[in-house]
Amino acid sequence: MRVLGVDPGLTRCGVGVVEGVAGRPLTMLGVGVVRTPADAELGHRLVAIEQGIEQWMDEHKPECVAVERVFSQHNVRTVMGTAQASAIATLCAARRGIPVALHTPSEVKAAVTGSGRADKAQVGAMVTRLLRLDAPPKPADAADALALAICHIWRAPAQNRLQQAVALHASKGRTP
Amino acid sequence: MRVLGVDPGLTRCGVGVVEGVAGRPLTMLGVGVVRTPADAELGHRLVAIEQGIEQWMDEHKPECVAVERVFSQHNVRTVMGTAQASAIATLCAARRGIPVALHTPSEVKAAVTGSGRADKAQVGAMVTRLLRLDAPPKPADAADALALAICHIWRAPAQNRLQQAVALHASKGRTP
- The percentage of residues in chain B with a pLDDT greater than 90, rounded to a whole number, is 78
pLDDT surpassing 80 at residue B163: no
Which of B72-76, B93-97, B165-169 is predicted most confidently? B93-97
Ligand-binding site membership of B63 (annotated): no
List chain B residues with CB under 8 Å of A85. Answer: 87
pLDDT surpassing 50 at residue B18: yes
Closest-CA distance of chain B to residue A7, Å: 16
* pLDDT band at residue A139 under the 50/70/90 scheme: very high
Considering only the beta carbons, identify the residue of B44, B88, B99 that sits closest to A87: B88
Nearest in space to B65 (alpha carbons), one of B88, B89, B81, B34:
B89
Average pLDDT, chain B: 90
The pLDDT of residue B169: 73
The pLDDT of residue B162: 67
The pLDDT of residue A175: 44
The pLDDT of residue B176: 40
Q: Per-residue pLDDT tens for A65-85?
A: 999 988 765 566 678 889 999
* pLDDT band at residue A126 under the 50/70/90 scheme: very high
Q: Per-residue pLDDT tens for B110-130?
A: 999 999 999 999 999 999 999
CB A44 within 8 A of CB A32: no
Q: Do A41 and B84 touch (CB under 8 A)?
A: no
Q: Known catalytic residue: A58?
A: no
Q: Do A87 and B84 touch (CB under 8 A)?
A: yes
A168-171: which pairs have CB atoms within 8 A and are 24 or more residues apart? Answer: none
For residues A79 and A60, what is the distance between their CA atoms, to the nearest angstrom?
28
For residues B50 and B138, what is the distance between their CA atoms, to the nearest angstrom?
22
Handedness of CA A98, B57, A11, A50 (dihedral sign): positive
Identity of residue A167: A
Q: Do A41 and B94 touch (CB under 8 A)?
A: yes
Q: Can you give the residue ranges of every domain in chain B?
A: 2-174
Considering only the beta carbons, identify the residue of A44, A50, A95 that sits closest to B47: A95
Length of chain B: 176
Q: Which residues pair with A6 in a beta bridge?
A: A15, A67
Q: How many CB atoms lie within 10 A of CB B109?
A: 23
* B17-35 average pLDDT score: 95
CB A142 within 8 A of CB A131: no
* A100-103/B2-7 β-pairing: unpaired
Q: Which CATH superfamily is domain A2-174 in?
A: Ribonuclease H-like superfamily/Ribonuclease H (3.30.420.10)
Identity of residue B101: A
* B129-148 average pLDDT score: 95
Q: Known catalytic residue: A68?
A: yes
Q: Which residues of B touch A (CB under 8 A)?
A: 41-44, 46-47, 50, 70, 72, 76, 79-80, 83-88, 90-91, 93-95, 99-100, 102
* pLDDT band at residue B100 under the 50/70/90 scheme: very high
Ligand-binding site membership of A68 (annotated): yes
pLDDT surpassing 80 at residue B105: yes
Q: pLDDT: is B21 or B172 the higher one?
A: B21
The pLDDT of residue B75: 66
Nearest in space to A86 (alpha carbons), one of B95, B91, B98, B11:
B91
Q: Which residues of A touch B (CB under 8 A)?
A: 41-44, 46-47, 50, 70, 72, 76, 79-80, 83-88, 90-91, 93-95, 99-100
* A82-90 average pLDDT score: 95
* pLDDT band at residue A176 under the 50/70/90 scheme: very low
Q: Do A86 and B84 touch (CB under 8 A)?
A: yes
Backbone angles phi, psi at B42, to 5 degrees: -50, -45
The pLDDT of residue A162: 67
Q: Which residues pair with A66 in a beta bridge?
A: A5, A101
DSSP, res B75:
-
Q: Known catalytic residue: B107?
A: no
Q: Do A84 and B87 touch (CB under 8 A)?
A: yes
Ligand-binding site membership of B119 (annotated): no
Of A19, A41, A68, A144, which residue is the catalytic one? A68
Q: pLDDT: is B78 or A114 the higher one?
A: A114
